[in-house]
Amino acid sequence: MYNPYLPKFAKIKKIQPETPDMKLFTFEFIDKKDRDNFKFWHGQFLMLGLLGFSEAPFDICSSATKTSTFDLAIRKVGTLTDRLYQLKIGDLVTVRGPFGNGLLLRNFKNKDLLLIGGGCGFVTMRSFVLDYLAGKLHSGKLNIFYGCLNEENLLFKNESSSWRKKVDLNIILEKPSKEWRGAKGVITGLFNKKQDFSNTVALVVGPSVMYKFVVEELEEGGMADSDIYLSLERRMYCGLGVCQHCAIGPYYVCKDGPVFSWEQLRNIPGVI
């Protein structure tokens, strides 16, 4: 019987530096049954841990259709991640999940998809892009708005150039170098009055401070509240809605989210 509290073991297959404080880790489950049974959808997360060092939630950023291995982009921000950064290829970690609800295909199957990622929120976008490029996502257009601090902190630089062949990728930097020739400012600077979002679904992931302003831009562009989705970040410990640390209004972020429609959230005080 499946026990969501019981961790599984996975080993590190690859470690790739992305920015000065973020690395892309590729993992593989030790047990073949775990590898064969592993399924997730875009926007879901895993609880990754080390024995003796607790665990933490991380968004899955690899393909949802090729799941023999899985990728997590891990930022070095505390005790657990400091320890993870000391590990080498072949070392073991614990894994629980996947947990929560992502952005399901039925929510955007017949519409264009706009992914809006701010800072580390761009991590979540990678799984969508990989499956879109492989023809496994949907037949509409895929557009991406990505806001970042500077060139040094840009994620997936080695991949994004090839993404542009099929994906409309728009990048804006808040504090770029003098050599930067792209857009400058905060992420709302990528919006303009000519954009028509009436047949588009949007997923917004990033610092909560940007959500209010991005939602306003999307609504002004004609997007319905039911077509605007936000991925919320709260302190999640159990992943199952038991510990109640991630409660917002009537919902638990770990169980009912992390992806919610703005229609669900708009009347909850302080949600963004």
Residue ranges covered by each domain of the chain: 8-98, 105-265
Nearest to residue 90, comparing CAs of 34, 7, 14? Answer: 14
105-265 belongs to which CATH class?
Answer: alpha beta
The pair phi, psi for residue 201, each rounded to 5°, is -110, 135
Domain 8-98 has CATH 2.40.30.10: yes
Binned average pLDDT, 10 residues per bin, the chain of 272 residues: 90 97 98 96 96 94 97 94 97 97 93 96 97 92 97 95 93 97 96 90 95 95 95 88 92 95 94 88
The pair phi, psi for residue 131, each rounded to 5°, is -75, -30
Report the distance separating Cα 78 and Cα 108, nearest Å: 36
Q: Do the first three CATH levels of 8-98 and 105-265 match, i.e. the same topology?
A: no
